[in-house]
Amino acid sequence: MAKRVIISGGGTGGHIYPAIAIANALQQKEPDLEVLFVGALGKMEMEKVPRAGYNIVGLPIVGIKRELSLDNLAFPFKLANSLLKAKKVVKDFAPDIAVGVGGFASGPLLMMASLAGIPTLIQEQNSYAGITNKLLAKKAGKICVAYPGMEAFFPAEKLALLGNPVRSDIVDVSAKSKEAIVEFGLDPERKTLFVMGGSLGARSINESIDAGLEKLIAAGYQVLWQTGKSYIATAQASIAKLGTKQVKAFEFIYTMDLAYAIADVVVSRAGALSVSELCLAAKPSILVPYPAASEDHQTKNAQTLVKQDAAWMIKDSAAGQDLVTKALELLGDLAEQENLKFNIRKLAKPTAASDIADEVLKLIK
């Protein structure tokens, strides 16, 4: 009889893409294995997971807002409704194991799976564990983590330091630079600053780059700029005003392997997935953590790299003043680029998805 796995969580690309990578690795190892995803209604997993070829069930779960909000009054009712629906999903699908990758939906689903006596595995992507995963850890059979020192949050005997699963096409981007030049219409003779703010864009990064475009162009560099949906029109207007071919802006870049291939320096948020990709692609990076991330985990992710001399970090509040200045400094310092490349490459875990899939299969009785 085919094994059955539920994978729950989502909310951001940083949760969804690792979850899909784990599912793909499981099916490579056992082609007849069945996977069902459980996500949060209205979140991006409801679109991205079916596009990857998997079925998904949505729960009405939402997060608690930090500020005073009427929406928080609905939270207990949505949580209760989500628990009931999760219980039904577990009963109907009858999984051999439930895997939680973080995000709203993982809490109710893993809780109901544990109560039904089904083994559970948690994949914690960040260097600072979220509240949901800390609560779920008591019942989990295994906790796969991406950073050392996670025994501060979880029982040490349950931990497996395996890294974050990322797309396999990022493992070796060095041979793709010619393809990248054609893809983005860039100049092979110029050094490239690649700017990305995650799947939704990043206001402080976008505004800082926009304000410093003339300096970057005057210094002879070119910019590949993923703006996110909300800033693309502003970016394109700025580029048109400057009348330059040295800046190419895109709302979203799907061929991330090619973007990394052409990048000499990367400016990025410090979400778990972005950091893991940067380690694998071995790119000199300036990280600008998103300050409103839960438990300020992006700052902690970035600090982990900074402590190992594997990246630079600028606070979000200082981006307007410092980001372009630091980008120009790093673009011009070849020795420091090589130093950061050498140190960040040591943190890469290229077999993470396969290794986590092995742990999932071990827990299935």
Return binding residues: 12-14, 126, 167, 199, 253, 272-277, 298
Q: Using the structure block, give the residue that is written with the tokens 């949906």.
A: 229
In angstroms, the CA 341 to CA 231 distance is 30
Q: Label residues 15-37 b or e (16+ Cβ within 10 Å = b).
A: bbbbbbbbbbbbbeeeeebbbbb
The amino acid at 185: G
Residue 35 contacts residue 5 (beta carbons within 8 Å):
yes
The 10s digit of each residue's pLDDT in 63-94 is: 655 556 666 666 677 778 889 999 999 999 99
Mind listing the pLDDT tens digit of every residue in the chain (365 residues)? 899 999 998 877 778 888 999 999 999 999 999 999 999 998 889 998 999 999 999 998 766 555 566 666 666 777 788 899 999 999 999 999 999 998 778 999 999 999 999 999 999 998 888 888 898 999 999 999 998 899 999 999 999 999 999 877 887 788 899 999 999 999 999 999 999 976 666 999 999 999 999 999 999 999 999 999 899 999 999 999 999 999 999 998 989 999 999 999 999 999 988 999 999 999 999 999 999 887 888 999 999 999 999 999 999 999 999 999 999 999 999 999 999 999 999 999 999 999 999 999 999 97
Q: What is the pTM of this model?
A: 0.86
Q: How many CA atoms lie within 13 A of 322 on its CB side?
A: 12
Return binding residues for UDP-N-acetyl-alpha-D-glucosamine: 12-14, 126, 167, 199, 253, 272-277, 298
Q: Which of 261, 263, 267, 216 is nearest to 238 (CA)?
A: 216
**DSSP-derived secondary structure letter, 150:** G
Residue 93 contacts residue 4 (beta carbons within 8 Å):
yes
Residues of the chain within CATH 3.40.50.2000 domain(s) are 4-164+350-363, 169-345
Place domain 169-345 in its CATH homologous superfamily. Answer: Glycogen Phosphorylase B; (3.40.50.2000)
The strand order across the sheet containing 222-226 reads: 247-250, 222-226, 192-196, 265-268, 285-287, 312-313
Query: What's the CATH code, domain 4-164+350-363?
Result: 3.40.50.2000
**Sign of the C-alpha dihedral computed for residues 100, 103, 105 and 110 taken in this order:** positive
The 10s digit of each residue's pLDDT in 177-213 is: 999 999 999 999 999 999 997 666 699 999 999 999 9
